[in-house]
Amino acid sequence: MSAHLHTTTRSSGGHHDRDHGHSQSHSRIQIQGVHKHFAQPGKGDSQQVLSDVSLELQHGEFVCLLGASGCGKSTLLNLVAGFEQPDGGRLLCDGRPITGPGPERGMVFQQPTLFPWLTVRQNVDFGPRMAGQRAADYAARADEFLRLVGLADFADHHPWQLSGGMRQRAALARAWLPEPEILLMDEPFGALDAQTRLAMQELLTGIWQQKRTTILFVTHDVDEALFLADRVVILSSRPGRIRQELQVPFERPRSFEDLVADPRFGALKRDILHVLREEAAKSLQSVAA
């Protein structure tokens, strides 16, 4: 690793909360000493997926999670979403234990999962509508988010009339409409072509700079992480532990052209790739063993 980068390397352990110097009341999300294993179908034993993971997200912070395939990134997101429960440790949102899914935690998946029989607007306002809220309470917000994601003119279209990028923009508006405390994004742009992906990254950071919603974003793409994040967290190979964290130094708003021209970008990218390569090699060794 080069020495000129400001990074924090962490071995696992339960003492990370003090690392950030924040009191509990300041953190949006607290992940404290979390362990998770899954039973392996057809085998008597279980697989340890996360081991003693501790991480805090501050209000309005944009954190990208990187790590080798299968190291537990989606599992960590699912734990914060409340879709899964930890085997050890605890997760808190605004100081309250996470016991299941809740509207204060929105999720965006790689596949947009829109209802094909509903219009874009009906998909976008699906949550508050199903919760029995009056249209007057959410219609203006639906208009705002349709405009922010550039779909105001497509509100009455159906998902099958949209491109992949437009469908993902509708899914983003749907997740953001309830104004969640945190958005959990699991490789949301992974299935898009490079041009659309860049446009989505710019769109996302544009809205985030207005709304300042806390975001935990899983990606395999180092460029994407460096373009989007305030902080990049790298998980080790399975069982996932926090291997390394680094603050992303680039000012906002960012442009990708400026980033690639910045020598710090190349240095950071090289160092992250180095760590990812090490972890991928470990994960291949453990599969071969």
Ligand X SMILES: Nc1ncnc2c1ncn2[C@@H]1O[C@H](COP(=O)(O)OP(=O)(O)OP(=O)(O)O)[C@@H](O)[C@H]1O
Cβ-based nearer residue to ligand X, 102 or 190: 190
For ligand X, the closer of residues 38 and 117 by Cβ is 38
| Interacting residue ranges for ligand X, rule: CB under 6 A | 38, 49, 67, 69-75
Rounded to a whole number of angstroms, the minimum distance from the CB of residue 288 to ligand X is: 16
Tell me whether the omega of the peptide bond preceding residue 239 falls within 30 degrees of 0, making it cis: yes
Rounded CA gap, 155 and 169, in Å? 12
Nearest distance, CB of residue 68 and ligand X, angstroms: 7
Q: By C-beta, is 71 or 170 nearer to ligand X?
A: 71
Read off the DSSP letter of residue 14: S
If you search the block for the tokens 């104004």, which residue do you land on? 179
**Nearest residue (CB) to ligand X, 78 versus 119:** 78
Q: How far is the CB of 40 from ligand X (least distance, A)?
A: 7
User: To the nearest whole angstrom, how small is the minimum distance from the Cβ of residue 79 to ligand X?
Assistant: 10
| Residue 233: CB minimum distance to ligand X, A | 12
- The residue among 178 and 188 lying less far from ligand X, judged by its C-beta, is 188
Alpha-helical (H) ranges within the chain are 73-81, 120-124, 126-130, 135-148, 164-176, 194-211, 222-228, 256-261, 263-288
Max CA-CA distance within the chain?
60
Strands (E), 20-129: 27-39, 46-58, 62-66, 88-93, 96-97, 105-108
What amino acid is encoded at 96 in this protein? Answer: R
CB of 74 to ligand X, least distance (A): 3
Which tokens belong to 151? 């779909």
Q: Which is nearer to ligand X, 72 or 180 (CB)?
A: 72
The least CB distance from residue 111 to ligand X, in Å, is 13
> Cα(147)–Cα(159) distance, rounded to whole angstroms?
17
- Based on CB atoms, which residue is closest to ligand X, 68 or 124? 68
Q: Which residues pair with 185 in a beta bridge?
A: 108, 217
What is the number of other CB atoms lying within 10 angstroms of the CB of residue 277? 11
